A = this chain, B = another copy of it.
Amino acid sequence: MCYSFNVNKIEVLPSGTITSPKGFQAGAVFAGIKGVKSEKPDLAILYSEVPAAAAGVFTKNRVCAAPVMLCRQRIKAGKVSAVVVNSGCANACNGDDGFTDAAMMAEVAAKKVDVSEKKVLVASTGVIGRRLPMPKIRDGISRITLARNKGHDFARAIMTTDTVHKEIAVKAGGYTVAGCAKGSGMIHPDMATLLGFITTDAAVKLEFLRKALPEAADISFNMVSVDGDTSTNDTVLLLANGQAGNPPIAEGTAEAMLFAEALQYVCIALAKMIARDGEGATRLIEVNVTGALCKSDARQVARTIISSPLVKSAVHGCDPNWGRVAAAAGRSGVAIEETKLAVAIGGIPLLKAGRPLPSDEKKVSAALSRSEVTIDVSLNLGDASATAWGCDLSEEYVKINSAYMT
């Protein structure tokens, strides 16, 4: 991948969860929100023992779920004590009733952890247009047991069609940064709800936290996703509770750079887990675009290629159809020049200066059959680059999505 991390200073913790940082607790139960039996919990609380500085990034969809509206309002104050989350129901398209339900869910969780309801955020994911089953929510919350070692339960509770939970924790500079996420449904990568929860025991100035999160999201979650093209519920929250005891990290310092790196490391790791677990996916695809005139051009070309169902289908079938990569670059809206375009798959150069190179189709097929497939595209116009992640498109995707609601 394009990004180079200060790997000496960032250490991945084995079996890390969002309760790995000090002063965080979590808990989860099965509340039966979707109305079907399951072993998997579907309701969870994340709790910071002291109010945490908090930042969030949210969906840009004009149709936006009630919990997102609630989070947007409450996060302005900058301090958060708890987040209550459910899967199985998106609480979107429910009008005022939806907002009342989301606020009530926060209120019940606030009483549970004995904090002001204003310091409790809510996130939901699942079917749109159904009301939250409030009796089940109330009952479920009452049964949640919070503990300092239950971050993993939280990560499982937020899953919908995800086949694996997604979590990571890293140590850097005397503090821990951890995260968990859910998200699947990867044809238009961003159309399935993406929820991400990041915790850190670092003390971080709110102003810097609010800059660091969108920057990290931009090169991670937003690169398995097309900007502005998000679900009704997408939410990424970052809570920094300062329990590591470091002096608060401020923008423009060496500490800030290391914190930003650790945060980006966590976000990119989660983004890749999301891409790899795309609905029906059998492979992770990484698209590296280099030689663009500017960053936004590079991002746009990378996202267009990673979103192309024809490219994704070709990878699934190990079909060395690199022309689809060139065609996707060409229709990306970026002023590429065909005579400068280069494409390589799995490190094998296939197109240079807009002309095909002799290649062994069997070797390309073999490269496409690996569990991680790399597509390199050089525009040869400038110095900007970007990386996007996605997955192949399989018959299984369609099976999953043609019977999601019923």
Chain A 183-195 per-residue mask, 1 if CB under 8 angstroms from chain B, else 0: 0010110011000
Instruction: Give the residues from 318 to 373 in chain A that come closer than 8 angstroms, CB to CB, to chain B.
Output: 318-324, 326-327, 329-331, 333-339, 341, 350-351, 353-356, 361, 365
- Does B395 lie within 8 Å of A338, measured CB to CB? no
- Does B394 lie within 8 Å of A317, measured CB to CB? no
Given contacts A94-B355, A404-B321, contact A129 B398 (CB under 8 A): no
| Measured CA separation A351–B93 after assembly (Å) | 8
| Measured CA separation A62–B395 after assembly (Å) | 31
Name which residue of chain B comes closest to A229, CB basis.
B331
Q: Does A401 contact B (CB under 8 A)?
A: yes
Given contacts A191-B309, A309-B187, contact A323 B93 (CB under 8 A): yes
Q: Does A64 contact B (CB under 8 A)?
A: yes
| Measured CA separation A141–B64 after assembly (Å) | 58
| Measured CA separation A405–B315 after assembly (Å) | 12
- Does B128 lie within 8 Å of A324, measured CB to CB? yes
- Does A405 lie within 8 Å of B327, measured CB to CB? no
Question: A314: which B residues are within 8 A, CB to CB?
Answer: 401-402, 404-405
Question: A322: which B residues are within 8 A, CB to CB?
Answer: 128-129
Partner of A323, one of B92, B335, B356, B403: B92
Q: Does A163 contact B (CB under 8 A)?
A: no
- Does A398 lie within 8 Å of B313, measured CB to CB? yes
Question: A355: which B residues are within 8 A, CB to CB?
Answer: 93-95, 97
Given contacts A128-B324, A405-B320, contact A185 B354 (CB under 8 A): no
The size of the chain A interface, using a CB distance under 8 A, is 73
Chain A 80-120 per-residue mask, 1 if CB under 8 angstroms from chain B, else 0: 00000000001011110100000000000000000000000
Q: Does A300 contact B (CB under 8 A)?
A: no
Question: A393: which B residues are within 8 A, CB to CB?
Answer: 398, 401-402
Given contacts A64-B338, A327-B63, contact A310 B401 (CB under 8 A): yes
Partner of A308, one of B188, B361, B365: B188
Q: How far is the CB of A272 from chain B (nearest CB, A)?
A: 21
| Measured CA separation A238–B35 after assembly (Å) | 56
- Does A404 lie within 8 Å of B319, measured CB to CB? yes
| Measured CA separation A330–B193 after assembly (Å) | 14
- A interface with B by C-beta (< 8 Å): 60-64, 90, 92-95, 97, 127-130, 185, 187-188, 191-192, 228-232, 308-310, 313-314, 316-324, 326-327, 329-331, 333-339, 341, 350-351, 353-356, 361, 365, 393-395, 397-406
**Other A-B pairs, 20, CB within 8 Å; known A95-B355, A319-B405:** A62-B329, A62-B334, A63-B330, A63-B336, A64-B330, A92-B323, A93-B326, A93-B356, A94-B355, A128-B322, A128-B323, A129-B326, A185-B310, A187-B187, A191-B308, A232-B330, A318-B402, A318-B406, A365-B406, A393-B401
